[in-house]
Structure 1
Amino acid sequence: MKMNKNWTRLWLLVISLFVLIGLSAQLQAQGEESSLDESAVLEGDYDEGVSFLRQFVIEGGPIVWFVLMPLSFYSCYQAIDLSIKTSRKILLPQENTEQLKKIAEKGDKEVIKSAAAKQDDLLSYSLSRAFNLVKTKEVGYMGLQQMISDVLQERTLEILRKVERLNLTGNISPMVGLFGTVFGMIKSFNTIVEAGGQPDASQLAGGISVALVTTFWGLFVAIPSLFIYGYLRNKLEAMASEAAVEAETVLDKIEDIY
């Protein structure tokens, strides 16, 4: 819990920092020329005249500063946090599994309940919850098996709902980027109309920058988010299946008790 709070504080600090950078950049840009000098572009001095910060952050406008950049850091936070929470050491540690198997071999049901209640991994949680439900219901061995399967599925879906946040971020960010692209192109066409059909390249730079930079940020957020989502989902499903097999192994050792 303490680790989660620390990650949340770090995430909020990073987001606040970049919001401040965006605001200060906007104020600075108001006092500067809003686009590149056309002669500098024609002479090939574009790389020298534009920094990475200006090209990929400042020129993107508020859509990048206040939506896409925060989304990128939110997805990073979720990816790191969920990678830790879905690691094997937390969800299905080998030492806990072996300990429960050894206890089950002794055939003491109460000791198994006590040992499972002390841990929060998938196997221990499903066994502990199922044993507690047995107290309120008259079920046999087959009923206990079904309870463990249901509890394990419920626990897996609970974790999957958290992993879905990455999927949501990965699907929203391209839409936000597309919105910025459409906005930038409308701005560029308006510039062409205002210039009587013959605008300077510098007049179009603002709208084109918004159009391209927002698309860039949308894809920059979406691609790793969806990749990590798919990886974590497959990893979690594999561990849930393994936990079900291990739970069945433990139950086989205490079948005679029921």
Structure 2
Amino acid sequence: MNVSKNEEQVVAKKKSGLNPAIVIPVLFVIGVAIYMFVLGNPSNFQHTEKFKGALSVALSDVEGKKIEPAEGSMMGIVYKGGPVVPILLTFMITVLVFSIERALILGRASGKNNLDNFVTTIRTYLNKNQINEALEECDRQQGSVGNVVKEGLTTYKILEKDATLNKEQKLVALSKSLEEATTLEMPMLEKNMMILSTLGTVATLIALLGTVLGMIKAFAALGAGGGSPDAAALSTGISEALINTALGIGTSAIAIILYNYFTSKIDGLTYKIDEIGLSIQQSFAEFN
């Protein structure tokens, strides 16, 4: 039933959303660029004249431990977090980009009109066995919920005229049609959710790596000076450790919150689909 249509939908779902294999490397380049040319801009540091017009302190000849952030410059402070910072920046940008993508996709999946009103309207039409009116409402609603309901109602009309199946077989066929339509829509809703889930964990681990590297530098500075350790190198190591910790925890927290939010939205859409699907089957059993 509607095989060609289903095949077209499958192709459409495969093409929907951002491709992580392409997007994430691009975001990494952007993260490195932000680290070098925004955070690492000489204006964020003390004694800008010693950088001799370099676009980034990373491209200057000044030794890293002699580069000190300007007073009150948060960008300069974050830059001093070291080589792990670009990775954490990439994670943060990735979370933001894929969260925006999920918000747009899920908003489109809900349809053009209020979803609760759509469910109420469809159930009203079903109670009156007004299938054509319900189909017209699906065309106006669109979105994933509208697509699944329309597929179920289309199957409903076909089975009404089918004289080869008994009532029980028709109900099984109707249920299967709704399940297949739902299965076709779910990949679009859940695509890239794993990225948010993964970054919620990995960001903390990478931050821990940056923290460990910073503490290694701090203890190396503590031991290198014998009785009088290098205070500048010691503070640099501790600062690097804390900056990485803060960035990682912040990124992880945002990723986890957004992942849970989008998961609840998907569950809500799935519930609406199941609710209307049950109403369609009950209506068919009552009027046929």
Say if 1:123 and 1:246, in contact at 8 Å, map to a contact too. Answer: no
Aligned length, in residue pairs: 243
1:151-171 Cα distance to aligned partner (Å, 9 max, x none): 436643652353232111111
Amino acid aligned to 2:202 = I
Displacement of 1:21 in angstroms is 3.7
Structure 1: give runs of 5+ residues left out of the alignment: 38-45
What does residue 62 of structure 1 align with? Answer: 83
Instruction: Give the structure, 1 or 2, with the largest relative contact order (CA under 8 Å, sep 6 or more).
Output: 1
Amino acid aligned to 2:97 = Y
Q: Does 1:160 align with 2:190?
A: yes
**Which structure 2 residues correspond to residues 30-45 of structure 1 after superposition, within 5 A?**
30-32=60-62, 34-35=64-65
TM (normalized to structure 1)?
0.72
Distance in 1 of aligned mates of 2:34 and 2:99: 24
Identity percentage of aligned residues: 17
From 151, 155, 172, the equivalent of 1:128 is: 151
Say if 2:27 and 2:94, in contact at 8 Å, map to a contact too. Answer: no
Distance in 1 of aligned mates of 2:215 and 2:149: 54
**Which structure 2 residues correspond to residues 33-182 of structure 1 after superposition, within 5 A?**
34-35=64-65, 49=71, 51-56=73-78, 58-65=79-86, 67-87=87-107, 90-91=109-110, 93=113, 94=115, 97=119, 119-125=142-148, 128=151, 139-149=169-179, 151-152=181-182, 155-156=185-186, 159-182=189-212
Displacement of 1:102 in angstroms is 6.9
Say if 1:11 and 1:74, in contact at 8 Å, map to a contact too. Answer: yes
1:63-89 Cα distance to aligned partner (Å, 9 max, x none): 112x110110110011111122223x6
Instruction: State the superposition RMSD in angstroms.
Output: 4.1
What does residue 57 of structure 2 align with? Answer: 28
Distance in 2 of aligned mates of 1:233 and 1:188: 41
Say if 1:149 and 1:244, in contact at 8 Å, map to a contact too. Answer: no
TM (normalized to structure 2)?
0.66
Q: Partner of 2:218: helix, strand, or coil? A: helix
What does residue 8 of structure 2 align with? Answer: none
What does residue 43 of structure 1 align with? Answer: none
Structure 2: give runs of 5+ residues left out of the alignment: 1-11, 42-55, 160-164
